[in-house]
Amino acid sequence: MLIFGLMLLLQTAACLDRFCSFDESGPCYTALGHKLNLMMLDASEYELKIQKRTNDTQDDPVCRVKNGEMKRSQCDLYYNRPEVTVIKGTLIINPVNRTDSGNYRLTVYNSDGSETSRDLHVIVEGSATAAATSSLTSSLTSASTQTSDYGLDRFCSFDQSDPCYTALGHKLNLLMVNASEYDLKIQKRINNPLDDPVCRVKNDKMKRSQCDLYRNRPEVTVIKGTLIINPVNRTDSGNYRLTLLNSEGSETSRDLQVIVE
């Protein structure tokens, strides 16, 4: 299992995109010179603050995000680097350099004035192979400390170009978009698009009466634009299409291949 997992990660290490989330408990490993996507949440709904924790929290470098845009005039964290930006609640660094390693804190400011914080440790490795090996070691270590009925979190996005690899029995988070702004349709592409199983999401809720994709499985739900399957089973492998229907009646589609190992 260890050798198989290592081979799998070494295969996917060739992909330039690395997706991490402030919701995950383990470190985020990425490779020098690659593209790092730090998934936060819908930045159009909240004001965000990203802080690199170095010494005293009062002196640590900070970046602020409002209305989905990084306020570069209030950012000493990335020194106005053009390769750093925020798109739809994801902080993108392309390419990553060694100074991007460190402990980060994401602070979310709610409309009622309250705030919540989440931490993430980013480790920039010298090569994709080293990053893959470290990621595997971290995952295996984390797995050994968890109970059998709670799987590791895996985050994938319909914006990524490479397949989404996840493990049998683990928790899969498929990041879509802000489901309160769009009507969504998730379709598993098998044969004819007219016959393929479909799930519909409206007002951030899966309409189980209109869902033949997941057969009303209680372990499948949608929360804040993320489709969550916990735990994953083998039948969840396949090619998925996410269709966004906006208020004007137009639609766009994105595809993602999910592979359950």
Tell whether 177 and 132 lie within a shared domain: no
This prediction's pTM? 0.48
Tell whether 140 and 157 lie within a shared domain: no
Radius of gyration of the chain (CA): 19
Pairing of strands 171-175, 153-157: parallel
Tell whether 159 and 127 lie within a shared domain: no
Predicted local distance difference test score (pLDDT) of residue 149: 38
User: Which among 144, 173, 190 is the end of a domain?
Assistant: 144
Tell whether 189 and 98 lie within a shared domain: no
Count of domains for the chain: 2
Q: Output the CA–CA distances (angstroms, integers) from residue 184 to 119, 177, 225, in the order listed.
A: 30, 9, 9
Q: Tell me which residue range forms the domain holding 74.
A: 2-144
Predicted local distance difference test score (pLDDT) of residue 17: 73
Predicted local distance difference test score (pLDDT) of residue 244: 85
Give the count of beta carbons closer than 10 Å to the beta carbon of residue 145: 7
What's the half-sphere exposure (Cβ side, CA atoms, 13 Å) at 173? 19
Tell whether 131 and 158 lie within a shared domain: no
Beta strands per DSSP E along 32-177 = 35-39, 47-53, 62-66, 69-70, 84-87, 90-93, 102-109, 115-125, 153-157, 164-166, 171-175
Tell whether 13 and 136 lie within a shared domain: yes
How is 181-223 classified by DSSP, letter by letter?
Answer: TSEEEEEEESS-TTTS-EEEEETTEE-GGG--SSTT-TTEEEE
Give the count of beta carbons closer than 10 Å to the beta carbon of residue 173: 21
Predicted local distance difference test score (pLDDT) of residue 239: 92
CATH number, domain containing residue 69: 2.60.40.10
Calpha distance 188→184 (Å, rounded): 13
User: Which among 144, 172, 195 is the end of a domain?
Assistant: 144
Tell whether 137 and 203 lie within a shared domain: no
User: Which among 96, 124, 144 is the end of a domain?
Assistant: 144
Predicted local distance difference test score (pLDDT) of residue 176: 81
Predicted local distance difference test score (pLDDT) of residue 154: 83
Tell whether 124 and 8 lie within a shared domain: yes
Q: What is the pLDDT along the chain (261 residues), one digit of tens a residue?
A: 433 343 334 333 334 678 888 877 778 888 888 889 888 876 667 788 899 887 766 678 888 888 778 877 878 888 878 888 888 778 889 889 998 999 999 988 877 778 888 888 999 987 544 444 444 444 444 433 333 334 577 888 887 878 888 888 888 988 887 666 778 888 888 877 677 888 888 887 887 777 888 887 888 888 877 888 988 999 899 999 988 887 777 888 889 999 998
Helices 128-144 and 2-12, axial angle in degrees (round to 10): 140
Q: Are 182 and 245 in contact (CB under 8 A)?
A: yes
Tell whether 48 and 83 lie within a shared domain: yes
Q: Output the CA–CA distances (angstroms, integers) from residue 107 to 50, 51, 120, 229, in the order listed.
A: 6, 8, 12, 26
